Amino acid sequence: MGADTREDIINFTEADRYVAPTEPEVIKKLEWFKDQKLAFMVHWGTYSQLGMCESWPISDGDAYWSRKAYTWEPDAKKFRAQYFAMNRTFNPIRFDPDEWADFASGVGFRYFIFTTKHHDGFCMFDSRYSPYKITAPDCPFHENRRANVAKELFDAFRTRGIAIAPYFSKPDWHCPWYWAEGCEKPVAYDRNPTYDPKARPDIWNRFVEYVHAQLTELAEEYGPVDILWLDGGQVRPSNGQDIRLGILAKKLRAKNPGLIFADRTVGGAFENYITPEQTIPSKPLDVPWESCISIGNGFAYGYDDDYKPPRELGRLLTSVVTRGGNLALNLGAQPDGRLPRRGMQAARGLGEWLKTYGEAIFSTRAAKTDLPAGDFGFTRKGSTVYVLKPLAENEILGETVMIPWSGSVRSISAVDRRQFMEFKQYSNGIMVYLPERLREKGAYALALKMQAE
């Protein structure tokens, strides 16, 4: 399902509501986070078998937008039973964690966000606290030597120096303590609990214990992990759904002091960075942030998906990084356990560009100019300022380009080789004389390196 038709996407927390952490180790880890720039995100679960939207169609309150493609069963209760039963046919026998990790390493991804559990509650790890999991006897894949998918992936990615960020859905629509039977609202009425947690603390407290137990499993038995990426922003104290995250964070950080929490859209002390979804902020943000954007049409695998070309991925990355953020590019994995070939090809195209121009991306910070920037963006590493301008597919640059940079510079060169260029500084920017090779069509972006005075 295309991102433009989804209504699960919640506007991200405004930067002026960001609460900066006070723990020294978390502050240090966030500086590490800002260095990473590029994450590989994968949504994968039983829903990949249908090639349609993940989880959301089982919520009646979200059916009007998410269930449009599910036309074979009009009865919502029967449909939910069919959806939840997909664990019995999920058998991704072509899953190879090393192939995934080699691909990600080759592209240049620096950290890995993986759906250990989406809202439907199906665990892609061997949780002791849920029978609804890929390692359960009623899932045919449970006999496979790689059945504990999250562990297999995290170990493979970590071996290649890629950091780990388990995605975890706080709401769990399979859990009997979230969509509880016999309460004031029927099961699946909407995305929230079927009861008022304040009125039924007996049920809610069991749910909180369950969430804490699963997150502790992931953080301590599948670690070390660098980030806990928590989805389901309706689960928040201001909405009457307090999972007492502060208690859990204190416990987990006692063993992993720099652990980052991305408690998405909630605000407060445990949204250590904000997460625009399928969008990029229109201006630079002065707080840690990460845009998650799908390479295909949506987050889950789709049989008819279109994939963004490498040039578009490059434009996204330069736009995000020059505004101070990180980019998490998502691929939905196939039901057979492989990543989609065309999506991988697109990402590899970006990776080839990064092999040459990655120094303008990784471990940089956004640099600001006092002049109207237009489609130019700037990053900085010490006294070096990088100029990044995305190019259209057939765009050919002229002999000169006016860079809207207001500071003084002592030299300008290409990023990919030690080739210095003539330039003149004016009040409205810097006129640079481009060598012919930088004016050839086909480049994803103009990338220059300036030494500031």
Q: Output the domain CATH number for residue 330.
A: 3.20.20.80
Residues 316 and 418 in one domain: no
Q: Three-class SS of residue 226?
A: coil
CB 420 within 8 Å of CB 412 = yes
Q: Choose among 360, 402, 401: nearest CA to 379.
A: 360
Tokens standing for 54? Answer: 């993940």
Residues 323 and 436 in one domain: no
Tokens standing for 218? Answer: 């992931």
At residue 6, the pLDDT reads: 58
Residues 212 and 352 in one domain: yes
Residues 101 and 64 in one domain: yes
Domain that holds residue 390: 367-452
Q: Long-range contact list for 2-8, CB < 8 A, 24+ apart? A: 2/297, 2/298, 3/278, 3/294, 3/297, 3/298, 5/65, 5/68, 6/53, 6/65, 6/66, 6/278, 6/298, 7/62, 7/65, 7/66, 8/56, 8/62, 8/66
Residues 300 and 408 in one domain: no
Residues 289 and 192 in one domain: yes
At residue 22, the pLDDT reads: 96
Classify residue 432 by burial, with Cβ atoms within 10 Å: 0-12, 13-18, 19+.
buried
Residues 306 and 398 in one domain: no
Instruction: State which of 314, 337, 360 marks the end of a domain.
Output: 360
Count of the separate structural domains present in the chain: 2
Residues 10 and 44 in one domain: yes
Instruction: State which of 340, 360, 380 marks the end of a domain.
Output: 360
Q: How far is CA 321 from CA 274, 367, 388, in A?
A: 14, 10, 10
Per-residue pLDDT of the chain (453 residues; tens, 9 = 90+): 344 455 666 578 999 899 999 999 999 999 999 999 999 999 999 999 999 999 999 999 999 999 988 889 999 999 999 999 999 999 999 999 999 999 999 999 999 999 999 999 999 999 999 999 999 999 999 999 999 999 999 999 999 999 999 999 999 999 999 999 999 999 999 999 999 999 999 999 999 999 999 999 999 999 899 999 999 999 999 999 999 999 999 999 999 999 999 999 999 999 999 999 999 999 999 999 999 999 999 999 999 999 999 999 999 999 999 999 999 999 999 999 999 999 999 999 999 999 999 999 999 999 999 999 999 999 999 999 999 999 988 888 999 999 999 999 999 999 988 899 999 999 999 999 999 988 887 788 999 999 998
CB-based contacts of 74: which residues, under 8 Å, 6+ apart?
A: none
Q: Choose among 40, 34, 18: nearest CA to 325.
A: 34
Residues 257 and 390 in one domain: no
Instruction: State which of 306, 327, 360 marks the end of a domain.
Output: 360
Residues 333 and 221 in one domain: yes
CATH number at residue 423: 2.60.40.1180
At residue 4, the pLDDT reads: 41
Residues 421 and 342 in one domain: no
Residues 271 and 415 in one domain: no
CB 410 within 8 Å of CB 453 = yes
